Amino acid sequence: MLLASQGTHPRPSEAIRLNQIGFYPGAPKAAFIVGDGGETFYVLTADQRDTAFTGRLRPARATSSSSDTTRAADFSALWTPGRYVVLVPGLGVSYPFEIRPRVHEELVRAALKAFYFQRASLALEPRYAGKWSRAAGHPDTRVLVHPSAASDGRPAGTVISSPGGWYDAGDYNKYIVNSGITVATLLSLYEDFPQYVRALRVDIPESGDAVPDLVHEALWNLRWMLTMQDPADGGVYHKLTEPRFEGFVSPAEARSPRYVVQKSTAATLDFAAVMAQGARVLRPFERRMPGLSDSALTAAVRAWNWARRHPDVFYDQARLNQQFEPHIETGTYGDGDVRDEFLWAATELGVTTRQDSFFTAVPLFPDSAAPLPSWRQVRTLAYYTLARFRAQLPGAVAGDRTRLERTLIRATDDLVQRASGTAYGTVMGGATADFVWGSNSVAANQGIALIVAYRLTGDRSYLRHALGNLDYILGRNATGYSFVTGFGARTPWHPHHRPSATDAIDAPVPGLLVGGPNPGRQDGCAYPDTAPDKAYVDDVCAYASNEVAINWNAPLVYLAAALEALQYEAGFSRGPR
């Protein structure tokens, strides 16, 4: 009506930033307009025939944390399901988006399905992989023991079998440390939202029995992890890798020899934690997978004992290369402080076995912090598990419940405080330090922290901020990209992802979260903008901002799935599922 009468169809404007997928009917809804012009905005039906909402832009906000000045277009009051665009006269229209219940369900499925696409040692059949089907790569049935990993029973050059697992990222290597937090995040989603996860179908070869698809997918990596433990002593190899990164070839074309390298305390403890959690999750499926839960727990305890005997075996690749051939140049996932890994492993073992000796082995609250989880900082994963089981904590920790809740809530309140000062009104970006390598996983992990705080308090404002961070990931940000491949109008088309770059398909594998803005720009590629919140480029060269990684996708799955699961009790959507 409004524009048709003027006879013009305004064009999409990159200056209008919003979640490019859409909004729940009853949830907060906002677009952010870059720059300080304009007064009025409209929400039109996607065909631009009807005006569904008219509003005034909020005053311009300039912030210290962003190079952008923005004006918010809040249309939270528009509840009617449909497909729309935001129009700002003189500027143009936004990308189209939807308002409806379950608006993120396809995203949840694709983000979980992305793990299937990362599977090593398996042919991806068209039935499950569609046009991204491919031949199997990396059987990993003949993996060499690197001299750094040699032991009496397995001298250097011993051949072991270590098939399966997920490729870490855009490379083809498999790293225990990063596997740890990834599997834990997925299994935690299941433990926190069992009913939702049981109904979540992603169509993978294992689908169709009583075991949820998410658990099957996690098992693909857990079973591989089990093969990374030295049966002789319980220590766990740090990674399974080629000596230097493979060129850009498809999985099936890769020919580099593969090695397991040095055992490390960090890898062994992460392994112990996730095996202990896995044992807990798998126990009800004992009849379908006889013995697996017990094997996982035995492996966890053996790993724990190894780490107690070897508390400071760090992975230092430079030093390793001074001593051994061939040199190893792939990802390091090195960590010189394993107090948090001890704390996490002790907690998961303690919760699963209910033996106090694990809880008393290490200080569970060394200080009052609950740092945001990352591959290198896993303390708060332990707190999430304690929070999950807070109603039935074992004796040694039963008295810590109040302290635990206070610690988690305080840390999250600190995050929330920062949101009012960001250009896009999100918790993400509240500190410049948010923009590290893999910054999008910071946004997703903040979202998880917010969801945990909601579940502890019942305060829905945490959920609105969690949704704000999902909006950030899907386009409400300083780059204007929705950072998930295949989801949104402006999405990464050239991720640093060998399978996507070497197949015959234009579109990248869908459902992958790229790293996101990272002013470190360690890849040395050309970036159009280097401000912390804009240092992103959709170029295959740019592994420091445009790679993908399993530990980034897992918190995306958690965040999007948790919001889908909570949309009704949050008041975001009405009616039963």
| Binding-site partner at residue 454 among ligand 9MR, ligand G3I, none, CB < 5 to 8 Å by type | none
What is the closest distance, in whole angstroms, from the C-beta atom of residue 307 to ligand G3I in the complex? 21
For residue 326, say if its preceding peptide bond is cis, omega within 30 degrees of 0. yes
Among 137, 331, 447, 492, binds ligand G3I (CB under 6 A): 331
Site for ligand 9MR contains 550 (CB under 6 A): no
Site for ligand 9MR contains 515 (CB under 6 A): no
Site for ligand 9MR contains 165 (CB under 6 A): no
H/E stretch holding 224 reads: helix 213-227
Find, among 331, 463, 449, the residue nearest to 379 by Cα.
449
Site for ligand G3I contains 495 (CB under 6 A): no
> Candidates 128-136, 163-171, 209-217, 376-384 — which segment interacts with ligand 9MR by CB under 6 A?
163-171
d(CA 137, CA 401): 47
Q: Kindly state the tokens that stand for 272.
A: 């112990």
d(CA 75, CA 466): 18
> 235 with 308: CB under 8 angstroms?
no
What is the secondary structure of 242-280 as a DSSP string? Answer: -SS---S--GGG-----EEEEE-HHHHHHHHHHHHHHHH
| Binding-site partner at residue 437 among ligand 9MR, ligand G3I, none, CB < 5 to 8 Å by type | ligand G3I
User: What are phi and psi for residue 143, nearest 5 degrees?
Assistant: -105, 135
d(CA 238, CA 332): 9
74 C-beta neighbours (distance < 10 Å), count: 18
Among 161, 357, 420, 522, binds ligand G3I (CB under 6 A): 522
Residues 6+ apart with CB under 8 A from 335: 177, 266, 314, 315, 341, 376
> Which 67-96 residues touch ligand G3I, going by CB under 6 A?
none
CA 562, 565, 567, 571 torsion-angle sign: negative
d(CA 330, CA 244): 5
Q: Is 547 a catalytic residue?
A: yes
Site for ligand G3I contains 418 (CB under 6 A): no
What is the closest distance, in whole angstroms, from the C-beta atom of residue 548 to ligand 9MR in the complex? 9
Catalytic one of 246, 538, 539, 564? 538
What is the closest distance, in whole angstroms, from the C-beta atom of residue 448 to ligand G3I in the complex? 17
CA distances from 516 to 115, 131, 360, 490, 521 (A): 19, 26, 40, 14, 11
Among 198, 376, 390, 490, binds ligand G3I (CB under 6 A): 376
Q: Is 216 a catalytic residue?
A: no
Catalytic one of 171, 217, 341, 405? 171
What is the closest distance, in whole angstroms, from the C-beta atom of residue 560 to ligand G3I in the complex? 20
User: How many residues would you count in the chain?
Assistant: 577
The residue nearest ligand 9MR at its CB is: 171
Closest CB to ligand 9MR among 348 and 547? 547
What is the closest distance, in whole angstroms, from the C-beta atom of residue 272 to ligand G3I in the complex? 22
> Candidates 134-142, 353-361, 430-438, 531-539 — which segment interacts with ligand G3I by CB under 6 A?
430-438
Mask: binding to ligand 9MR, 313-352, rule CB under 6 A, as x and -?
A: ------------------x---------------------
What is the closest distance, in whole angstroms, from the C-beta atom of residue 442 to ligand 9MR in the complex? 17
| Binding-site partner at residue 141 among ligand G3I, ligand 9MR, none, CB < 5 to 8 Å by type | none
Residues 6+ apart with CB under 8 A from 392: none
Site size with ligand G3I, rule: CB under 6 A: 14
Among 220, 543, 552, 558, binds ligand 9MR (CB under 6 A): 543
Catalytic one of 496, 533, 539, 564? 496
Among 170, 212, 234, 510, binds ligand 9MR (CB under 6 A): 170
The residue assigned the tokens 């386009």 is: 475
What is the b/e burial string over 199-215, where b = at least 16 CB atoms within 10 angstroms of the residue's CB? ebebebeeeeeebbbbb
| Binding-site partner at residue 540 among ligand 9MR, ligand G3I, none, CB < 5 to 8 Å by type | none
Closest CB to ligand 9MR among 172 and 224? 172
Give the three-state DSSP class for 52: strand
Residue 100 burial by CB count (10 A; 0-12/13-18/19+): exposed, middle or buried? middle
163 C-beta neighbours (distance < 10 Å), count: 18
Q: Kindly state the tokens that stand for 383.
A: 């707190």
Q: Kindly state the tokens that stand for 561.
A: 């799935």
> Which 234-293 residues touch ligand 9MR, going by CB under 6 A?
245
Closest CB to ligand 9MR among 109 and 496? 496
What is the closest distance, in whole angstroms, from the C-beta atom of residue 245 to ligand 9MR in the complex? 4
> Which 206-245 residues touch ligand 9MR, going by CB under 6 A?
245
Among 266, 386, 436, 466, binds ligand G3I (CB under 6 A): 436
What do you get for the CA distance between the two ends of the chain, in Å? Answer: 35
Closest CB to ligand 9MR among 246 and 340? 246
| Binding-site partner at residue 371 among ligand G3I, ligand 9MR, none, CB < 5 to 8 Å by type | none
Site for ligand G3I contains 437 (CB under 6 A): yes
User: What are phi and psi for residue 469, nearest 5 degrees?
Assistant: -70, -30
Residues 6+ apart with CB under 8 A from 167: 118, 119, 120, 138, 173, 174, 251, 499, 550
d(CA 161, CA 145): 10
| Binding-site partner at residue 100 among ligand 9MR, ligand G3I, none, CB < 5 to 8 Å by type | none
Site for ligand 9MR contains 438 (CB under 6 A): no
Interface contacts to ligand G3I, rule CB under 6 A: 168-169, 171, 331-332, 376, 436-438, 520, 522, 543, 547, 549
Enzyme catalytic residues: 171, 496, 538, 547
Interface contacts to ligand 9MR, rule CB under 6 A: 169-171, 245, 331, 543, 547
